[in-house]
Structure 1
């Protein structure tokens, strides 16, 4: 009887240890002049936050597709603030990063 218990316990522990960690991500696209979130973007972010409330979330914001690099950076900072407001409302911490090598006018949220 003990042997069956050991087999079940070992199988359970092996299954937990070998199950892959899946990371989810959400990618959003902006128009170059857009600084706030659309209703659809807000809905998608809220849905993502609801499904990943306890995961470590990282937000990567690409630069805006503008000729002036300084204005592109300012646009990206405003987009970061818009996403940060949603995470603060839900009390979910996020690491926010500007990603200059990322495709222009994109925002990527990843859960670890």
Structure 2
């Protein structure tokens, strides 16, 4: 019985210690939002701290607006907001505008080798 409990305890500890880090982070914006809120900024900084030596890419979708030009401009402003955070962390990132992606989303992920 003691042996079984010890074995289960070891397996539990091993499972907690060997959890893989997420390789992507998805953030959602409201259509009119152009800057990062505090929670989004914290999540990006945490993701950058977990992947400091990896090639990262940020894919930003357009805003869900009726005017396509305004949607494009919202996406560009969001890219600038993410770029400001990555520059402050001294982590290079490849920024992409992704018009085919779900509207009002930003996906930050490790670039495939």
Q: Aligned with 1:72: secondary structure?
A: helix
Q: Output the TM-score relative to the length of structure 2.
A: 0.78
Instruction: Indicate whether 1:28 and 2:23 are aligned.
Output: no
Deviations 1:12-59 (A, max 9, x none): xxxxxxxxxx87000000000000000000000000000001000000
CA distance in structure 2 between the aligned counterparts of 1:66 and 1:23, rounded to whole angstroms: 31
Instruction: Indicate whether 1:71 and 2:67 are aligned.
Output: no
Gaps of 5+ in 2: 1-20
**Count of residue pairs the alignment pairs up:** 91
- Provide the alpha-carbon RMSD of the alignment: 1.2
Task: Give the corresponding residue for 1:43.
Answer: 42
Q: Output the TM-score relative to the length of structure 1.
A: 0.79
Gaps of 5+ in 1: 1-21
